[in-house]
Every structure is written in structure tokens, then in C-alpha cells.
Amino acid sequence: MLLNQVFQEPETHSRYRVVLEYINELMLIDIDSDKAWPFPVKEDELRTVGYEPIEDPFPLPNVEEGSIAAVKRDEAWGVIAPLLDKYTNLCDKAKRNQLIKERLASTDKSRLYIVRYLRRYWQRGMAPNALAPDYYRCGGKGKPRREIEQKLGRKRSISPGVGTPVTEEVAELFRLAIEGFYLTNEKVPLTAAKDKAIGLFKARHPNTNESSVPTMAQFRYFYQTHYLQSEVIRKRTPSRIYQKDMRALTSTSGNLNFGPGARYEIDATIADLYLVSDQDPDAIIGRPVMYFVKDVFSRMVVGMYIGLENPSWVAAMMALSNAFIDKTAFCCEYGVNIRATDWPSVGIPYGIMADRGELLYRQADVLVNRFGVQLSNSRAYRGDDKAICERFFNTIQSQFRPYVGGVVEPLNGKKRIGRRYELDATLGLYDFTRLVINLVINYNTRHVIDGYDFAPDMPENLPAVPLELWNWGVQNRTGKLRSCDEDLAWINLLPYEQASVSEVGITFKGLVYTCQEALKAGWFDRIRQNRPSKIEIAFDPRRTNTVYLRPDSKFESYWICELADRSRRFRNMSFVEAAGVLKSMKRTEATARQKEDYEKPDALANVEKIVSEAKAKGKDKQKVTLPASERLKGIRDNRSREKEAERDRTTTKTQKSRKCDKPADVVPLRPEKEHKDIGLDYPGLDDYLEDDDD
């Protein structure tokens, strides 16, 4: 197939395109002449003369739909397309003129217009895009120039060679390296993407040399002029990180929170500090967990928990219960005396925002159904959903880091300070909690919030201090929060599970509990009765001593259950520790039962052997045939005689054992030497004390 191929004549170097192929005859057209028409050539003549096939000098351009070039292309194609229906007649001059004359009668275009675009169709590749204008040859500021033969820009003064121009082919290789390699991996530098592009260029042009490959300057210029930095960062950054840390912020968290208690945010972190035991300062107990509850409107810390419980519903429950109640007693417990007005956040909020972990626990339904709190869970890996609370962790820790020991250092901390930073720990849990309470009170009452977004109705003389914002919001926006009983809030926030009731007691997680109310109701009496088989128990996972029985679904109903004596082994344990002990006990019992099952057949075999020997003794003795009535009457006398015989045997054994108590005579094998009388009694302390010792 020679159709549409371009050949070059060896003598004149004229270039011709095959526009028609018919058996042994070809129709060629000069692609460089503006007056050329197809002329016939035998295929054998084409080869005899030595026409050489060459690369098409007019590659079909890419025409963007809707552009001016596309409009003009479609217009020209609409004019010459009817002529192409009788394609073979166009190669004959007379028939071609007749067809053009007929076409002129049905179009408003001139003969010159039809002739030029028909010739262009043949010379440029016989496709609709061949009729598109050569707009790509037109220069323009800021527009790339791809159809060039020499490299643009200044000439090289140091590197050898002249370089290669950035043609459309090279630009395509640049795009492949950037979009397929650089933009898809944030760890890939731009230099590595340039090396990738050079590798693609060498794969397409294996005969190229060192001085003819694209340079880093050309690659960087192409990258900077074709890609926006914002789009590059968006594509190179994982979506979660970009949405959390880099996306545009169009509003504020306080915009939709109309007052104190409208929304609380709760979050936890592990403090960058190691603690020691309060009982033994030499024992390092690790890093504590800090839970904070913050009000979004005022930025006040309304509740907290500092302890060793891992982030969970239990720790979150303690922080929330602290947020709901008066904090004066809590602060007094740690030696910090405050007034109720210094920390006025008391009551239940309208809504709470938390991580998906803690408040996805089923007990969180209590907050909705019994406290009427609207719960919101943040999206996965989106800490910016509760940025108010997240940012506070760094704020609070930056205040105590310079003053305490045991602060967590970077990975090379040992190299920097010369020792393990854990060994510098000095604070116990009690002291650290007291320290954090003081910092929180100072933050609530004196810290000025930088960049607080004031609403239009807020006065100009209102300082951006959490306590001032809270008090203003209570007076002018939401009023006081809903109050609740401290004990009821605590018990209703505890996790709950099912327990069973029997005459032994209330069995919960393998432990037995008793309850005064249940005793009065007769649940544990050893009689047939209609005691409940399953009950609901609320419990603190940190302690097994006390659980709370929920006799009904009422918010205020609960019975206090104490650990029974039957389970006294598990007092002052956590439920996790108790479960471990129970498992160990079951493992020990299972091992003992295996041993029992293994050795019991031997014991039964001995029983059978003894019975068999007794039967054999009876058979060997001469039987005295007595009536059955006589044998039954002599049981009492027989028992008396046998008892006397047993006493005689016991007395004889005792006398023998007394004789054995006398030590035997010792006969020396060697002649005895004279020994000093050495006492073998325990030494007294008087021998070791000096005269001056008391």
C-alpha cells in the first residue's frame, strides 16, 4: 500500500504524495507547488527512477473543537466533500473542471477557494484536519513555539553542542514525565522527573548523543509555564492531608456557634512527658493521657481528664462528667482553691463533637436519649473538624515543657542531651494534674485569643478572653446551661452490659456481687421463684469493687452492688486484671482436671483389685453356714470385737514408734581425735556488739 506515502526524487529532491493507487498505476502530486495537480506514474517507473520514501513533512495538526481553526476546517470540508464522492474523476483534468463547475453552482465560494482547498487536501495528507489553517506557525507572546528546527534561547557557552528544540514531541514527553511520575508521587523531586523525560527521549531516539538531549533548564521552564503551583501541590499531596492542612479556609468554627454550650469539642492526646509513680519516685510509669473538652464559642476549657487510661469511652466519660459539674471540689482535691465564678462551665451542652472512636460506643446513646445532647463525629483523619481542641494541646504543653524533666525529645534526643530523657522524669500523676489545672485556669481567665472572630453584635470593649466571652455569651446569647445531678450523670455515662442472677448472687463478667435491694426482694433465696434471669449492669472498668444495677429504664433508678465475699480475691482490681486472673484460674483448673482424668482410672483399678482380693480371702476361708437371721443379729457383737482388735493394733504401732525415737549407737570407723567443745547453738547478738553499742 503506497497510498498517502511521500516520496522524494533523488535528482531534484522534489517531494510527491501518492493520492491514488490503481492496480499498477499511481497518481502523484507535488506537495511543495501551489499549482500542482495529480499526474500519473507507473509503479515500476517509480522504483526504476529511485524515488525514496520519506517521513511525512506535514503531520496532521491537532485541532481543538470549537476553535477558529475548527470552524474554518469544517467550512472548507463542507465545500470539497461533495467532490470527493467522485474521487477518481478528480484525477482527470476535464472531469475535474466539470465537477468544480457543477459545485460552483451550488455554493457561494469562488473557484480559487475550491481549487486551493482541494489541492491542500491532497498535499497535506488527505484528511479533514489537513484543511485546518497553519495557526500553529503563528508566533505570539507566551505561546509555545513547537514547529521549529533549532533550539530557542541563548546559545550555549559552556556545554558542548547546540541542544535540541522543545518540539511537540519533546513537550509530550515532558508531560508524561511530569503527570505520570512527578505529580503522582510527593517524594519524587523535579530532577528525577527530568531524568525520566530524558529516558523517554532516548527510547524514541536511540541514536541521539549527550549534547542533543533536553536540559534541566528546558524541563523546568516547561514545568513552570504549563503547571500552576497550587494545582501541583493539590495533586502531589494526599487528599486527606490537603483537605486537613492546605485547603482554603472560607469560614470560622465560631460562625455557626451562637453562644456558650452550643458545641463542645472533646479530644485526647498522649502528653509529651514521662511521669513517675506517686508511691515510688524511682518507678517511671510512662506518659499520661490528656483529655480536654472545649467550648467553641468562648474557647474555654470546660472539662478535663489527666490519667493513665488509654483514649477510650471510659476516659472520655470522665472528661465529659467533669465538664458537666462544678469544678470547685475537683480543684480542691488537688490543692487548687477557686471560686465557682472562676470556672463557671456547669451544665449539659447542646452538642458535642468528638472523634469517631470514643463516641461511637453504644453508651453514647445515653447522651442523646437521656441528656438530649446532639452528637457529631469528626471525619476520619480530619482533625480540622475540631481544630479548637486540637490546637490547644500544643498551647498547653508549650507552657510546661521548659520547666519539667522527662519531656519527650526528638528521635535524636539521646544524642543531643547525652542520656535517655525518660530518666529525667520527676513529676507524679498528682503533681502533673495540679500543674495542668493551674495552666487551664490561667488560660480560661487571662489568655487573650489571637484572631478571635467577633460577631457584629459583640461590643468593642469585650476582650477575647475565654472567661469574658463565656460570661457575655451567657448573658446575651444562650443563658445558663442545663443542670444535672453529678452522681446521676456519672452513673448514666458508665458503660453497661448484661449480668445473670442466681441464688449465688449477681454474676457479672465472672465475678459475684450482692445488693441490699436484691436481698430484700428475695432474689438470692434458695427456693423456686421468679427472679430475673438477666439484668443490666453499669460499671466502671477501672474498679471491680462496685457496680450499678439498673432495675428499670428510668434515668434516676440504680442499685449499688458490692463485690461478694465469694469473689473477694478480685477486690481493688480493674476488670481487665480480673479477666486475666480468671483466665489463669481456668487454665490452672483445666490442667488439674486433665491430671485427675488421667490418674483416676488407676485409682479405680486399685479399688477393683482390693475388692477382688477381699473376695478371694472369703472364698479361701471355710464357710460357716448360719441362717441369715443369725448373721444379722450378730452385727453389734461383731462390731465390738473388731473395734477392740483395731485398738490393739493402733496401740502396738504407737509403742513401736516410741521405741524408734531413741537414737542408735554410733560406732566410729576411725579413732576419735580430741575436739574442743564447740557450741552449735544460734549465736547471740552480745558477741557482735561493742562496749559502746546500745
pLDDT in tens, 543-557: 889 999 988 877 788
Q: Calculate the dihedral angle through the C-alpha atoms of 505, 511, 516, 520, rounding to the nearest 10 degrees.
A: -10
CA distance 542 to 530: 33
- Please indicate, yes or no, whether the overall pTM of this predicted structure exceeds 0.85: no
- Report whether pLDDT(417) > 60: no
For residue 433, what are the contacts with CB-CB under 8 A and spacing of at least 6? 306, 334
Please answer whether residues 132 and 72 qualify as being in contact, where contact means their C-beta atoms are separated by less than 8 angstroms: yes
- Report whether pLDDT(435) > 90: yes
CA distance 242 to 236: 9
Range with lowest mean pLDDT among 75-79, 236-240, 281-285: 236-240
CATH of 256-476, one of 3.30.420.10, 1.20.1560.10, 3.30.9.100, 1.20.1090.10: 3.30.420.10
- Report whether pLDDT(451) > 90: no
CA distance 241 to 247: 9
- Report whether pLDDT(527) > 60: yes
Cα three-residue angle 140-143-144, rounded to 5 degrees: 120
**Residue 694: per-residue pLDDT:** 44
pLDDT tens per residue across span 591-614 = 999 998 999 898 888 988 888 888
Q: What is the DSSP string of 500-541?
A: EE-SS-EEETTEEEE-HHHHHTTTT-SS-----SEEEEEE-T
pLDDT averaged over every residue in the chain: 82
> Which residue did the predictor score with more confidence, 465 or 311?
465
pLDDT band at 514 (very low <50, low <70, confident <90, very high): very high
C-alpha cell at 127: 484528511
- Report whether pLDDT(387) > 70: no
| Amino acid sitting at position 453 | D
> Which residue did the predictor score with more confidence, 616 or 118?
118
254: nearest Cα among 533, 455, 48: 455
Range with lowest mean pLDDT among 324-338, 484-498, 580-594: 484-498
> Which residue did the predictor score with more confidence, 673 or 36?
36
3-class SS of residue 375? strand
Give helix 466-476 / helix 429-446 axis angle, nearest 10°.
60
- Report whether pLDDT(122) > 70: yes
Average the pLDDT over 348-354 and give the result: 85
pLDDT band at 588 (very low <50, low <70, confident <90, very high): very high
In what helix (H) or strand (E) does residue 353 lie, and over which residues does it extend? strand 351-354
For residue 268, what are the contacts with CB-CB under 8 A and spacing of at least 6? 289, 290, 291, 292, 311, 315, 316, 319, 355, 358
130: nearest Cα among 148, 112, 117: 117
| 171, 566, 580, 584, 589 from 593: Cα distances, Å | 80, 22, 20, 14, 6
Reading phi first (left if > 0) and then psi (alpha if -120 to 50, else beta), residue 118 is in alpha
For residue 15, what are the contacts with CB-CB under 8 A and spacing of at least 6? 6, 7, 8, 9, 30, 31, 32, 54, 57
pLDDT band at 148 (very low <50, low <70, confident <90, very high): low
pLDDT band at 624 (very low <50, low <70, confident <90, very high): low
Average the pLDDT over 442-450 and give the result: 91
72: nearest Cα among 2, 116, 132: 132
**Phi (first) and psi of residue 311, to 5 degrees:** -55, 115
**Phi (first) and psi of residue 545, to 5 degrees:** -65, -35
25: nearest Cα among 46, 54, 6: 46
Radius of gyration (Cα) for the chain, nearest Å? 50
**Phi (first) and psi of residue 345, to 5 degrees:** -75, 90
- Report whether pLDDT(252) > 50: yes
Average the pLDDT over 282-306 and give the result: 90
Q: What is the DSSP string of 596-632?
A: HHHHHHHHHHHHHHHHHHHHHHHHHSPPP---HHHHH
Please answer whether residues 537 and 497 qualify as being in contact, where contact means their C-beta atoms are separated by less than 8 angstroms: yes
| Amino acid sitting at position 579 | A
pLDDT band at 379 (very low <50, low <70, confident <90, very high): low
Please answer whether residues 198 and 214 qualify as being in contact, where contact means their C-beta atoms are separated by less than 8 angstroms: yes
Please answer whether residues 514 and 561 qualify as being in contact, where contact means their C-beta atoms are separated by less than 8 angstroms: yes
320: how many CB neighbours lie within 10 A of its CB? 31
Please answer whether residues 447 and 463 qualify as being in contact, where contact means their C-beta atoms are separated by less than 8 angstroms: no
In what helix (H) or strand (E) does residue 549 lie, and over which residues does it extend? strand 546-550
> Which residue did the predictor score with more confidence, 487 or 658?
487
| 170, 233, 584 from 577: Cα distances, Å | 69, 50, 11
Please answer whether residues 483 and 346 qualify as being in contact, where contact means their C-beta atoms are separated by less than 8 angstroms: yes
3: nearest Cα among 127, 132, 133: 127
In what helix (H) or strand (E) does residue 307 lie, and over which residues does it extend? strand 301-307
> Which residue did the predictor score with more confidence, 324 or 496?
324
| Amino acid sitting at position 261 | G
**Residue 693: per-residue pLDDT:** 46
CA distance 190 to 160: 24
- Segments making up each domain of the chain, as ranges: 6-137, 168-237, 256-476, 494-578
Q: For the chain, what percentages of helix, strand and coil (3-state, to nearest 5) are there?
A: 45, 15, 40
Give helix 387-400 / helix 429-446 axis angle, nearest 10°.
120
Residue 544, Cβ density class (10 Å: 0-12 exposed, 13-18 middle, ≥19 buried): buried
**Residue 253: per-residue pLDDT:** 65
Q: Calculate the dihedral angle through the C-alpha atoms of 464, 467, 469, 474, rounding to the nearest 10 degrees.
A: 180
Q: What is the DSSP string of 283-299?
A: -EEEPPEEEEEEETTT-
3-class SS of residue 559? strand
pLDDT band at 11 (very low <50, low <70, confident <90, very high): confident
In the DSSP assignment, the letter for residue 244 is: I
